[in-house]
Structure 1
């Protein structure tokens, strides 16, 4: 049986997309060139917006309990604390606070959820060719088989085969900023309730507590020039620089479970769509790891794309709706790219001007509570709004395109619930029965009728928890789904 959507890449973005599509009743096939799932990963932080997306996929269960809640970052100059920033719930009715947890564990939970929905990734299954026509895409696999699907989505990372096959440009640079990562046990007195970071003339170093009593060590190290070092060489280098850059505060590296070296990419795809081929996550945008925005932005792409593809595949919307995917998501990727680049430059500043601005201007500023609240809010991505896009609107708040908080509601059967828990592949009508019926006439069965516990205007909420419109949804739906 031909799937509606072929997803290339079984990382967090591809898995999130597959889960979301299955929630909407769309058939999916997921392939990945890797022989098996990853057990380690560079990403290890899920911000509040990421928790919300996982919650709406019904894939959050167990992760908050497993995670480490290291919500403070203390920066040192030598053995002297310079700045302490606290992250937390920005008070916007979120499903869960930020979590320190490996991307590999997030992927494992998404695979479990995919299995619950009737899907599974196909490992050792590389996509090597793709041709498209007016009705679909024919993809060639590395074992000689072909797959016919109505749509192909590349979630296969910065070196995306799908992007290359589609002929989509990926301008930008691979810069010379090289970082060492080591997951290890430490003999240390560092506080596991937060992350510690050190500025040093030879490069910054950070230590973040991880589940299982381990620490994630991250170091900028332009001196370490081996092209393809072994894990043992990386660990030995980290063993040397840990006490040197932390002035002994970091303790001793005992044994390591994983080590890696990476260079930063800064790239943005020319377009997110070429006919029936689309891109999401690192296939479409790549940037520095500072701020933990990569996985967060990618799974946001997946959720945004899923409900739009579902409507088009189900014949409830025209293909014009898919144009809004790039229009809504690409500006965010551009903003994340700028922000992560600025954060990287501040953290690795080596020249006298850069160090002065960081140590004498930025550090005192970020010790202010107002800037700490702003940092939490900014990195959470709860501020993301599509009000300026083609599905957005003007007028009094909330406006079309704004995020709607996870408010308490009552279902039609009288059971209390939360708005975001009721979305999970569905639209929500907060209003009277006539508005609910108007939405169902255009959207089919994937609509739920809710009554907010506290007074709110009548509204139609999109499956990604953004406001479609207030009042009668007919006019908005007629325009959006045309």
Structure 2
């Protein structure tokens, strides 16, 4: 693929979390020679990022894993508030939404992070992709033709590009000297664990508010498993956090009506200090960063894993287009241009939700995020109403004969959509779909990117060809 460069792989992905695996899947379906490396000996074992937002489900639908992800989880239960061993009443976790024609997925879906990563790993393997476990990266250098990664054990790997998806404490980011700018969202540490517990129903997310100087305790039944996710806030400067079975038994006995013996097993446990931080840049030469390596969130609102997967979705098609020679190398510059502002916006939302300043509403579903300010968003129509779909926006779904527009968009290709009274249009090598007038779009010609956003829009196809040449259109 691409120029004759002496490399082991075209893309080295560091980190087999959700972002790294999603990127691996996207590259594999495009025929890109990629290798995912992971420091640990296996996939992440915990539930931490358990909320899959509607926009991410659309990404998963395109990557061929939406069915497996849906089957692995379930909807969020209402929260049950407890006090002194009595139920005070229910609270909805999310603002209620209804299905819309342009959005086939309308509610967050709960899937433990470990299970989401298992699904992505299985899909990557199915597509012929690879993950090398037990490979700890210790050095990275680059030149004009590629990147060389050194490991604690085993031979180095030479790649044309590398992507750091190795988490909030990213080794690659540190080696590149890329700083993180941010703040502590809450000074009090939080512990999270996957546990087996008796004495509570699985129809509610059980919340025990702070009382007597103690922090909150929450026990959420994890859809698709027999586990509960335990989360609790501790006091800054207080006793050391004890993540053992006995330590967590003592915690639930202190903060709830449950007996210590009701907690029967600890399957995974960790602690962290809620923080929001954004990498100062998302690229250094031939190395790009994604996921938690690029942005660290409070878990409130369920945004972190989703934003990382969408980083990967933005980057995959661009790497493939550049590697094939169909697009200039400058296309990779649009990754940071598009994703860093989105990450900053989502970070702000997560922090406001954590502090009780915003609700888990429409913004958390991420369907409204887009790239109108991007150099890849070219809008040639004029006098549009304020609510009109524009270049840079997410391309909505809708009926298309007996199928759906998302059926036409699905796959690693661009789609030329001609709507209503717009004159016929075509681009060499690009699938063209013609539909009657549809209010979600308005009449016109729309070039839909491989990641499901409108790249170019106009009343006719006039001026479309130069855009296509610069964006690598036609590469599938």
**TM-score where L is the length of structure 1:** 0.83
- Structure 1 residues 207, 250: CA separation in 2 closer, same or farther (over 3 Å shift)? farther
Q: How far is the alpha carbon of 1:249 from its aligned partner?
A: 12
Deviations 1:321-351 (A, max 9, x none): 22211111111211222222222233xxxxx
The alpha carbon displacement at 1:448 in A equals: 2.9
SS state at 1:91 partner? coil
Task: Indicate the residue corresponding to 1:184 in structure 2.
Answer: 195
Match of 1:464 in 2: 451
Distance 2:148 2:127 in 1: 25
Q: 1:194-233 maps to which residues of 2 (within 5 A)? A: 194-201=204-211, 202-210=214-222, 211-222=224-235, 225=238, 227=240, 229-233=242-246
Match of residue 370, structure 2, among 378, 385, 388 = 385
Aligned match of 2:4: none
Question: Relative to structure 1, is the Cα distance of residues 453 and 227 closer, same or farther in structure 2, using a 3 angstrom cutoff?
Answer: farther
Q: What is the CA deviation profile of residues 294-341 of structure 1, one whole-angstrom value per residue up to 9, with x for unaligned ones? A: 100000000001111111111122222222111111112112222222
Q: 1:416 and 2:429 equivalent?
A: no
Q: CA deviation at 1:241?
A: 3.5
TM-score of the pair, normalised by structure 2 = 0.84
Q: Which digits, 9 at most, give the CA deviation of each residue in 1:419-478, with x for residues without a partner?
A: 25643211112239997642x3xxxx5x43334476453321111111112242324324
1:60–1:109 Cα contact (<8 Å) kept? no
2:88 maps to what in 1?
80
Report deviation, 1:9: 0.4
Distance 1:187 1:124 in 2: 36
Aligned to 2:432: 449
Q: 1:24 to 1:388 in 2, by over 3 A?
A: same
Q: CA deviation at 1:163?
A: 0.8
Q: Would the alpha carbon gap of residues 82 and 479 (structure 1) be closer, same or farther in structure 2, given more than 3 Å must change?
A: same
Q: Is residue 29 from structure 1 mapped to residue 38 from structure 2 by the alignment?
A: no
**Are 1:64 and 2:70 matched, yes or no?**
yes
Shift in CA distance, 262/421, structure 1 to aligned 2, threshold 3 Å: farther
The separation in 2 between residues aligned to 1:468 and 1:58, in whole angstroms, is 23
Q: State how far apart, in whole Å, the 2-side matches of 1:47 and 1:222 are.
A: 31
Q: What are the Cα deviations for residues 345-398 of structure 1, in whole angstroms up to 9, with x where unaligned?
A: 33xxxxxxxxxxxxxxx7xxx9xxxx7xxx331111001011122223454322
1:250-269 alignment runs, 5 A limit: 252-269=262-279
Q: Secondary structure at the match of 1:157?
A: coil
Distance in structure 2 (CA, Å) of the matches to 1:270 and 1:276? 16
Are the counterparts in 2 of residues 17 and 303 from structure 1 also a CA contact under 8 Å? yes
Q: What is the distance in 2 between the residues matched to 1:209 and 1:181?
A: 13
**Aligned pairs (5 A) from 1:39-54:** 39-54=45-60
2:17 to 8, 11, 16: 11
Instruction: Provide structure 1 residue ranges, at least 5 long, that are not aligned to the other structure.
Output: 347-361
Whether the aligned pair in 2 keeps the contact of 1:55 and 1:420 (CA below 8 Å) is no
| Contact 1:77–1:200 (CA under 8 A) maintained in structure 2 | no
Relative to structure 1, the CA distance from residue 320 to residue 197 in structure 2 (aligned partners, 3 Å threshold; closer, same or farther) is same
Instruction: Give, in whole Å, the separation in 1 of the partners of 2:303 and 2:244.
Output: 26
Select between 97-106 and 416-425 the one with higher mean Cα deviation: 416-425
Q: Find the residue that maps to 2:396 and give its secondary structure.
A: coil
Pairwise CA distance, 1:172: 2.9
Which is worse superposed, 98-107 or 207-216?
Answer: 207-216
The equivalent residue for 1:405 is 396
Q: In structure 2, do the counterparts of structure 1 residues 421 and 294 end up closer, same or farther at CA, with 3 Å as the change threshold?
A: farther
In 1, are the aligned partners of 2:252 and 2:259 still within 8 Å (CA)? no
Q: Is 1:275 aligned with 2:285?
A: yes
Aligned to 1:91: 99
Q: What does residue 352 of structure 2 align with? A: 342
Size of the alignment, in residue pairs?
443
